[in-house]
Structure 1
Amino acid sequence: MTVPPSPRGPVLIVGGGLVGASLAIALDVAGVDTMLVEAAAPRTDAQPSYDERNLALARATVNGLEAIGVWTHAREGATAIERIHVSRAGEFGSVRLQAREAGVDALGWTLPARELGAALLRRLDECTRLQRLAPATLEAIEPFAEGWRAQVRTGEGVRQIDTPLLVGADGTGSFVRGRLGIGAETFDYGQTLFVCTVTPEREHGHRAYERFSDEGPVALLPLAGRRCGLVLTVPGSQAEAVAAMDDAQYLALAQRRFGWRLGRLARPGKRFPYAIQRVAANRLIAPRAVLVGNAAQTVHPIGAQGFNLGLRDALTLAELVAAAADPGAERLLATYAARRAPDREGTMAMSHGLVQLACLPQPWLAPLRSLALLACDRVPPLKHAVLRRGMGFRGQPPRAVLERAP
C-alpha cells in the first residue's frame, strides 16, 4: 500500500539519534514544519545511540539543550564537572583546569546517554510543528525542482514525502550521505573503547580525568552517588581478551592504566565495547541537502567531543533555517558549511592529533609532551584558549549555546 504524498513540504530529518532529535526540537522551537524519520521505535531501549555511554557535555552544549527545552528534563541525572585533570602515564607534565578560572560554576556536566535520550523523547512529545515516523526507513530519494522526493517505508506502507531540505542525521554509516554521492575518509585507529561505571575509594570531587598512555587514553568521569564513568581504550588486538576478563581482572587492568589518584576502583558495572574509527564526509552539503552529527563527522572519543560537535551542527542549522524563507536555499547551505568549518576542522584535528601524539610510544617525545602540557597549564593565554574550547566555544558558535546573563 502506498500512502499519498505529504501535502506540505516539511524539512525532512533522517535519523532520530541524539543529534537528529535535537535538531527536530530546535526547528520546532523556531516554528519550522519538520518531519523526523526514525529507524527505531521511540523508546530509550530501542534507539541505538541512547546507550550506556556516559557523555561529557560541554558547557556550551548544556546552554544549547537548555535553550531548546531539553535540559529541564535531563538536569536531575547530570553531575557537574568542576575540574579536569589531564596527564600522561610516566611523564611529568599535566594540565589542571578549573571552572573558577573561567568564571563559571561548571566546565560541563556528565550525563548517561540513555538519560539524555529519555529527556529528548519527553521533549519531542511536547513539539507541535513536528511529525514523527517511527519506526520508519528511508528507502530512496530523488531530486526534483523544489527539493527531494523521499520514499519512506512505515508500518502502514511506503510514504512519498517532498521536502525542500533533506537532512542526513543517520550516523556514521549514513545512508543519506551515500545516496547524495558524498564520499568520506575513514581512519581505523585499531582501538576498542570499553565503558562501564566504577566506584572509587575516594570521592571524585566533581573532577574528570583524562590520562594517556602507549595503549591509548583512559578517562574517569564524575557521576552521582560517588560513582564514576570509566572509559578505557585498548588496542583492537586485545579487545576479545579484555571482554573475556572477569571483574577482578578488568579492575586490575583499569587500575594499572589509570593509577591511584582516587584510590582503589571497585564495583564495576557491565562493560560495553565500541570499535573506534574516524569518518569525515568530504563535504557537508549538496543541493537542498545537508549532513549533521556523525553523518558529517565521527571523531575519536578522546576529549568527548562527538555529541558536543554534533549539537553545534544542529543548532547552527536551526538558527539559519529559522531566519530564512527557503530552508534549502543554496546560499543558506553555503553559509552553514562556512560557519561550521572552523569548529569542525579544529575539533577533528584536535581529537585526531591528540590521540596520535599523546599515545605515540616514542621515548624522545616524552619531554616535549610534558613541556606542552606544562605550557597549557602555566601560560594564561594558552590556558584560557584550552578552557574556552573545552567548554565548546570555538569558531562562530550558534547563538543558543552562548552564555546568558543571570
Structure 2
Amino acid sequence: MNASPPFAAHGNVLIVGGGLVGASLAIALDAAGCHVTLVEAAAPRTDAQPSYDERNLALARATVNGLVAIGVWPLVAAQATPIRHIHVSRAGEFGSARLDAARHGVDALGWTLPARELGAALLRRLDDCKRLVRLAPASLTDLEKHADGWRAQITTEQGHQHIDAALLVGADGTESFVRTQLGIEADTHNYAQTLFVCTVTPERDPANRAWERFSDEGPIAMLPLAERRCGLVLTVPSASATEVAAMDDAQFIALAQQRFGWRLGRLSRPGKRHPYAIRRVAARQLTAARSVLVGNAAQTVHPIGAQGFNLGLRDALTLAELVQDAADPGSPALLDRYAMQRAPDREGTMAMSHDLVRFACMPQPWLAPLRSLALLAYDRVPPLQQALARRGMGFRGEPPRAVLERLS
C-alpha cells in the first residue's frame, strides 16, 4: 500500500476496480493532484489481475498518446509493435478496405501490445504515485450515501474499514458490483459467439500489417507482434466453442488457416489458447449521485475493431481532466459534463461495433454486393477513408486533451 497523508473526505475519489482502465484512471488523477483510493479484488501482481492476461491488445494511436501523457508508455514502448497498415475484407466477397499510416501522415495507426505487459507497466507506474492509497486484495462490501459523498465499507485481509469519498468510480468490469449497488440498469446482448486468442507464427513476415476478416462464423483478426509472430483473434459460434477448445494444435491451426486464408502463408506454432464469451453490456446511464461508471462497467463492446480498452481509457482520461479542473470532483455539474462529453464517442463506438458485426457476419447472400461496395468506398473515397482512419485511431467526438498530444 502506498503511504498517504490524511485528507479531507470532500476531496477524495474512490475507484473500485484496478484493471487496465481503473489503474490508468488512478494514475491520471494522482498526476492531476487528486487524493485517490484504489480498491482492487486481486493482489497487485500481473499474474493475479484478470485483465492483465494473455490477450494481445490493439492500441489506437489516441490510446498511446494518452499512455504517454500519464507516463506509462515509456515503460512499455519497447515491447510494442507498430501497426502501419490495416486490411479489412470479407471471406468470399470481392471488396476490401486498406488503411496506410503514411497516407494519413502518421508513423503508425496504432500499436499491438500483450495485455500482461501493459498491466506490468501500470503496476510500476502506480508505485510512483504520490497521493494514491491502494487496497489490494480488497473488496467493496457496502455503500452508504451521504449528502456530500459516499461512505464505503472495504474488506481487506486485515478486516473492515470505512472510506469517505466525494466521488465513487465504478471501474469493476462487465459484472460491475458498483453499477448494481447504484441501481443502474444495463442492456445486454448475447452474440452467441466465443473468442479464442493465442499467438501464431506465420510463414511470411506480417510487416506491421493488421488483418480483419469477416465470415458467416464471425470475424478473425491477425495482429503483428514482435519476432514475426502474430496475435490471432478467432471468433466461433458458441455452440462450437467446446469442440474448438478440445482441438489439438494441428486441428486448431487448420481451422484458423481455413478461416483466415493464406495471405501470410502457412500458420504454425499456436500458443496457449484462451476463450472469452462475447456479450454486449451497456449501462443505461453513466452517472448517479456522486458516482460514475467507466470502462467495461459502463460499456462492454464486441471485440471487433479492438475498441474495448481504447474506449475505456478515453473514459478515464476525460474524467481525470474534468476532476482536475473542478473544486468538487462529485458535483452534479461535473458529472453532467462528463456524460455529455462522452456520449458521442461512446454511442458511436458501441453502434459501430454492434452494427459492424451484424452487417459483416450475417449470412444473407443479398448483402454480399452491399458489403463489397461499402468496403470499396472506404478504400477509394478519400473523405470516407479519412473518417475511417481517424475513428480507427481513436479520435471521435470530443476526445480528452491528453490523447491529442503528439507522441514524444
- Per the normalisation by structure 2, the TM-score is 0.97
- Aligned partners of 1:19, 1:119: CA distance in 2, in Å? 13
Query: Which residue number corresponds to residue 258 of structure 1?
Result: 260
User: What pairs up with 1:272-311 in 2 under 5 angstroms?
Assistant: 272-311=274-313
Structure 2 counterpart of 1:117, one-letter code: G
- Aligned partners of 1:180, 1:99: CA distance in 2, in Å? 43
Shift of 1:405: 7.8
Is 1:384 equivalent to 2:348 in the alignment?
A: no
- Aligned partners of 2:333, 2:46: CA distance in 1, in Å? 37
Query: Which residue number corresponds to residue 320 of structure 1?
Result: 322
Contact 2:7 2:35 in 1 (8 A): no
Query: Which residue number corresponds to residue 3 of structure 1?
Result: none
- Aligned partners of 2:59, 2:29: CA distance in 1, in Å? 21
Residue aligned with 2:23, SS: helix
- Aligned partners of 1:258, 1:198: CA distance in 2, in Å? 12
Query: Which residue number corresponds to residue 119 of structure 1?
Result: 121
User: What pairs up with 1:44-59 in 2 under 5 angstroms?
Assistant: 44-59=46-61
- Aligned partners of 2:407, 2:311: CA distance in 1, in Å? 24
Give 1:240's match in structure 2, choosing from 231, 239, 242.
242
Is 1:31 equivalent to 2:42 in the alignment?
A: no
- Aligned partners of 1:405, 1:244: CA distance in 2, in Å? 43
Residue aligned with 1:303, SS: coil
Query: Which residue number corresponds to residue 362 of structure 2?
Result: 360
Is 1:206 equivalent to 2:208 in the alignment?
A: yes
Query: Which residue number corresponds to residue 171 of structure 1?
Result: 173
Is 1:146 equivalent to 2:122 in the alignment?
A: no
Structure 2 counterpart of 1:265, one-letter code: L
| Structure 1 gaps, min length 5 | 1-5
The number of residue pairs the alignment matches comes to 401
Contact 2:68 2:407 in 1 (8 A): no
- Aligned partners of 2:225, 2:178: CA distance in 1, in Å? 36
- Residues 162-190 of structure 1 deviation map (CA, whole Å, 9 limit, x = unaligned): 10000000000000000000000000000
Query: Which residue number corresponds to residue 71 of structure 2?
Result: 69
Shift of 1:7: 5.7
**Please, what is the CA RMSD of the aligned residues?**
0.8
Shift of 1:213: 0.1
Residue aligned with 1:105, SS: coil
Residue aligned with 2:125, SS: helix
| Structure 2 gaps, min length 5 | 1-5
Residue aligned with 2:137, SS: coil
- Aligned partners of 1:160, 1:201: CA distance in 2, in Å? 57
Contact 2:88 2:96 in 1 (8 A): yes
- Aligned partners of 2:237, 2:299: CA distance in 1, in Å? 22
Give 2:272's match in structure 1, choosing from 261, 267, 270.
270
Residue aligned with 1:238, SS: helix
Shift of 1:76: 1.1
Contact 2:65 2:407 in 1 (8 A): no
- Aligned partners of 2:219, 2:94: CA distance in 1, in Å? 16
- Aligned partners of 2:50, 2:8: CA distance in 1, in Å? 30
Shift of 1:8: 3.0
- Aligned partners of 1:75, 1:8: CA distance in 2, in Å? 37
Q: Which runs of 4+ in 1 moved over 6 A?
A: none
Percent of residue pairs identical: 76
Shift of 1:404: 2.6
- Residues 262-294 of structure 1 deviation map (CA, whole Å, 9 limit, x = unaligned): 000001000000000000000000010000000
Structure 1 counterpart of 2:96, one-letter code: S
- Aligned partners of 2:161, 2:75: CA distance in 1, in Å? 32
Query: Which residue number corresponds to residue 3 of structure 2?
Result: none
Structure 1 counterpart of 2:76, one-letter code: A
Structure 1 counterpart of 2:264, one-letter code: L
- Aligned partners of 1:405, 1:333: CA distance in 2, in Å? 29
Query: Which residue number corresponds to residue 8 of structure 1?
Result: 8
Residue aligned with 1:232, SS: strand
Shift of 1:42: 0.2
Residue aligned with 2:227, SS: coil
- Aligned partners of 1:205, 1:281: CA distance in 2, in Å? 39
Structure 2 counterpart of 1:8, one-letter code: A
Structure 2 counterpart of 1:292, one-letter code: V
- Aligned partners of 1:45, 1:136: CA distance in 2, in Å? 16
- Per the normalisation by structure 1, the TM-score is 0.98
- Aligned partners of 1:36, 1:259: CA distance in 2, in Å? 45
